[in-house]
Structure 1
Amino acid sequence: MSLTDLSRVTLTLTELLRQVVARDTSVATIEFTAAPPDDTSGSMPNIISVHLFHTMEDPHGKNYLPPGGQGGAVPVQQTPLALCLYYVVTATSSVTEGGPSNRAAIEQRLLGFVARAFHDYPIITDSTVVPNVPPAPVNQPLLETVGLQGSDNVIKIVLRPVSVDDTINFWSAEQDRIARISLYYEVRVILFATPRVERAAPPVLSVAEFVSVSDRVAILRTRALTGFALPTGHPLADPTQPFRFFEASPARPALFPAGAAPPSVPPQNNRITFEGAGFQGDRVSLSLEGPMGVGNADPETRRARISISQSVNPEWEITADGVRISIGLRTTVTDEDGQTLTLYPGLYTARIIVGAQMANQSPVRFLETSSADCPFPVAPQIVTVDALAGPAAARPFRITLHGSYLRDALDVVLTVSGQRMIRDADLTVAGHFDFSNATPDRIDLTVDTTAFASPLAIQLVINGAEAAPAWGEF
């Protein structure tokens, strides 16, 4: 909680009294003021004064941490100032009917209203609302009426046990006033806003190796640009820009088959860039470990070395400049042993291996250094989500993937609008999905669209790697 204007606390107290008194009484001639109780000037015959007469620093507030919870030595101007505010509440009546006795009775009645109101609402937060009696309109939240909402402000009101002697001393400072019946309140804890920190360290967004010795090979981070298309009619959709993009680090590239991407898929979704140091030598290799299969075999966790220095896999469009290596992941790759492997979506780790050729060696030998393993997911790529003909209570949809690799050995989790689907061949039942018998790049599913509105949010996760956002429109 932080404030810059103490008067807003006083306005909150007077607004609370105004709303409660207006609801619980028929007295319509009351003015609520922050003026001191001896200032009886006002437009109404009855005045309730909520006067701030004293403030002091809360001793417990000296231990508060600065915003953000920084440790260590902190300039004093960055530590919060916690204040306790002290109010005297007095009722004054200038009603002439009934004489002084009637005025005293009115003042006592008004103070009773005050005591009841502050007793019923001892803590004021963003959600504090004084309920009204219908057909009167609903009141705004108290803090919203004075512009203190949305900052987690909490105002605590405590009735002070002031003794008779203290009361007499309060009213008899000049020894010319008789003590008036009053209520004394402590309002706490009010924190003053601190100046903005101009030289604070920025937040840590990623953790990596940033210090290297000599030519040590190190991967500092991986990044990938992921694009997706918003559903038709989305308020952020731009007809001139079919895709929206975000940069992911760690990277989450998609897996593409050979060939060009279809128009509904951003062509750069399969690219991943490794950034670091020492990516140069007589021989540079990328060592991948993840779900792969030899030829068309089912996937298993394997490690493959892929040459960066030689153009063995032109479809991967590998580029390297010594501090970064960028590749476009494809479903098939030829490793350094000449073996053709099939990649599947899932969780991978990668390391960069740099070899220096040893002189006067036959056959040729290399002295190799390697970076540490760097993990990242390889996601499936959704091409389209099509609504097929069928009843609304069991409407069929088809998800088409960019790549024909679906098989039972994969762990596939499909969620539609927050509802997890069950893999079952009976697609007449809503909530079921299964792989298409025609081609291994399609997932057929059935959804009860009477329970949802278009578009349906599609979440596809294969082997722990989540595809970019997609929607099913109907």
Structure 2
Amino acid sequence: MALEDLSLVTETLITLLTTRIGSATVVAQAPDQLPTSTKSTISVYLYHAREDAHHKNAVARDGTSNPFHTPLALSLFYVVTAHHYGDDDKPEPLQEQKLLGYALKALHDYPLVGDDTKIGAVDILHEELRGNDNGLQIIYRPVAPEESATFWNGDDQRLIRFSAFYEVRVVLMKPEPVTHIPGYVLSVGNYILPTGVMHLASSHSVVRFTPPGGDPIALPASPARVALEPTTPPSPEIPNNQLTLRGSRLGGGRLVLRSPLFDPPNNQVVVEPADNSAWDIQVTSTRITARIQDSVNVDGVPGTILPGIYGVSVQVSSQVDLPGGLSKTVTSRSNELAFAVTPFVTDNDPVGVVGDPIAVEVAPGSNLTDPALAGQIEVYVDGLAYEESGAVAPKTFVITDDEHITIRPHFGSGDAGNHPFRLIVRGAEAPPYWIEVAE
């Protein structure tokens, strides 16, 4: 969650209670500030915030722990109080107990509030929090009676009010945007490997690019960084879109991909070789290779493979004979590895004067206009972050179509040299590319 307005969390709680209870008014006011004419009202008051220790040492995208670029993780503390006064301006305890009982039940029934949380046709999570994997955890805090009494100001002539205390977490305050990012590591070692079971040890691919004025380079990458670029190079070169998995006891296995973009249970799909011939899946006991495509066929239904980070595992199914001539299918699965499916930059327009638009082309299959990629595309030039805002000012960009990004660069024809262009989609970075400006 990344937000700038804490009141959105309070409004979410108000929506939950209002929708669930129906017969009560729910407000965000402090319980001691409501007048004695109040009837059938529940106050949900934010009285304290505490930094969440688990997220305190988060590392920013620029590789540092600069507090400007790391989110502030908060736990929010609320007091929920029922208010109902009679015509004589005196509280009516029985009615207040009924109201607070309704609130306690509602917050008990919905301890997790996310994008899909609905009561009837009403979305509970505030609209500005939906669509970005946001979620709230509502925790009832058992406060001792003596501690509850100390919460109320001694000058309050109404003494202790019947209340409940809640913690809502984790709320991440939006950090300042990262303006520079470092290079990336192409190889990471795996050191602890179990034996005797089906196991994936590592994933591999090549990262192919051409440096300015140089010859093409193909570097090995592990974990794999597979580009959506299906060109077949001359043998024995490895294609840009080839994923290689190495491990043990992999014979007869099927690839299983996992991504939050997949609809099936557990966000997983099994890639059947017979239904996905373009994937060119080859399996041995110690090695699996596949050419990642921009779509996968699952039970006759095509699905889209977008750039991003995926999980991959291997699944083996076998028939076990049971008494009475029956049989049962037993499925086992390996551990899961993460790998990146990246876009691949192929070309760009010639550079003109400062601010003139430049169309940058990516290989077919990246589907940059897919709604699932909205807000998930990042562009950096010379290490500077470009903003997606219509490409009308320097250091901005716009997604033109599935295969083109138009940028308004901060340099022009007078800035001779090589300007690194970095494209990151859902955390997966394209192979290195440079926009060259001739002298």
TM, length-normalised to structure 2: 0.51
Contact preservation (8 Å) 1:209, 1:218: no
Equivalent residue for 1:248? 221
- Correspondence for 1:285 among 224, 229, 254: 254
Tell me how far apart the structure 1 counterparts of residues 415 and 387 of structure 2 sit (CA, whole Å).
Answer: 18
- Correspondence for 2:379 among 386, 411, 414: 414
Equivalent residue for 2:396? 432
After the TM superposition, which residues 325-344 of structure 1 pair with which residues of structure 2 at under 5 Å, given as runs?
325-335=288-298, 337-344=299-306
Tell me how far apart the structure 2 counterparts of residues 262 and 355 of structure 1 sit (CA, whole Å).
Answer: 34
- Secondary structure at the residue paired with 1:326? strand
After the TM superposition, which residues 292-307 of structure 1 pair with which residues of structure 2 at under 5 Å, given as runs?
292=261, 302-307=267-272
Deviation at 1:338, TM superposition (A): 2.8
Deviation at 1:301, TM superposition (A): 8.7
- Correspondence for 2:405 among 439, 443, 451: 443
Equivalent residue for 1:405? 367
RMSD of aligned alpha carbons = 2.9
Tell me how far apart the structure 2 counterparts of residues 229 and 349 of structure 1 sit (CA, whole Å).
Answer: 29
The number of aligned residues is 243
- Secondary structure at the residue paired with 2:357? strand
Tell me how far apart the structure 2 counterparts of residues 383 and 397 of structure 1 sit (CA, whole Å).
Answer: 13
Equivalent residue for 1:225? 206
Distance 1:430 1:300, change over 3 A: farther
Distance 1:453 1:340, change over 3 A: same
- Correspondence for 1:356 among 288, 293, 318: 318
- Correspondence for 2:195 among 188, 212, 218: 212
Tell me how far apart the structure 1 counterparts of residues 231 and 190 of structure 2 sit (CA, whole Å).
Answer: 35
Equivalent residue for 1:366? 329
Distance 1:230 1:348, change over 3 A: same
Contact preservation (8 Å) 1:382, 1:470: yes
User: How big is each residue's C-alpha offset from its partner over 1:396-442, in whole Å with a ceiling of 9 and x where there is no partner?
Assistant: 211111125012531011000111101111x3411110011xx3211
Distance 1:302 1:400, change over 3 A: farther
Q: Mind listing any 5+ residue stretches in structure 2 that lack a counterpart?
A: 1-186
After the TM superposition, which residues 83-232 of structure 1 pair with which residues of structure 2 at under 5 Å, given as runs?
206-213=189-196, 216-231=197-212
Deviation at 1:452, TM superposition (A): 4.3
Contact preservation (8 Å) 2:262, 2:269: no
Say which one has the larger Rg.
1
User: How big is each residue's C-alpha offset from its partner over 1:229-253, in whole Å with a ceiling of 9 and x where there is no partner?
Assistant: 112x3xxx13xxxx10111111111
Whether 1:473 and 2:419 are equivalent positions in the alignment is: no
User: How big is each residue's C-alpha offset from its partner over 1:41-76, in whole Å with a ceiling of 9 and x where there is no partner?
Assistant: xxxxxxxxxxxxxxxxxxxxxxxxxxxxxxxxxxxx
Tell me how far apart the structure 1 counterparts of residues 301 and 200 of structure 2 sit (CA, whole Å).
Answer: 26
- Secondary structure at the residue paired with 1:230? coil
Contact preservation (8 Å) 2:258, 2:269: yes
TM, length-normalised to structure 1: 0.47
Distance 1:277 1:262, change over 3 A: closer
- Secondary structure at the residue paired with 1:394? coil
Equivalent residue for 2:355? 394
Tell me how far apart the structure 2 counterparts of residues 412 and 351 of structure 1 sit (CA, whole Å).
Answer: 26
Deviation at 1:261, TM superposition (A): 6.1
Deviation at 1:317, TM superposition (A): 1.2
- Secondary structure at the residue paired with 2:347? strand
The structure 1 segments of at least 4 consecutive aligned residues displaced by more than 6 Å after TM superposition are 360-364
Distance 1:292 1:224, change over 3 A: same
Tell me how far apart the structure 2 counterparts of residues 260 and 205 of structure 1 sit (CA, whole Å).
Answer: 26
Distance 1:383 1:395, change over 3 A: same
Deviation at 1:287, TM superposition (A): 1.0
Contact preservation (8 Å) 2:307, 2:366: no
User: How big is each residue's C-alpha offset from its partner over 1:200-219, in whole Å with a ceiling of 9 and x where there is no partner?
Assistant: xxxx9622443412xx1100
- Secondary structure at the residue paired with 1:468? coil
User: How big is each residue's C-alpha offset from its partner over 1:354-376, in whole Å with a ceiling of 9 and x where there is no partner?
Assistant: 12222379897421221111111
User: How big is each residue's C-alpha offset from its partner over 1:176-203, in whole Å with a ceiling of 9 and x where there is no partner?
Assistant: xxxxxxxxxxxxxxxxxxxxxxxxxxxx
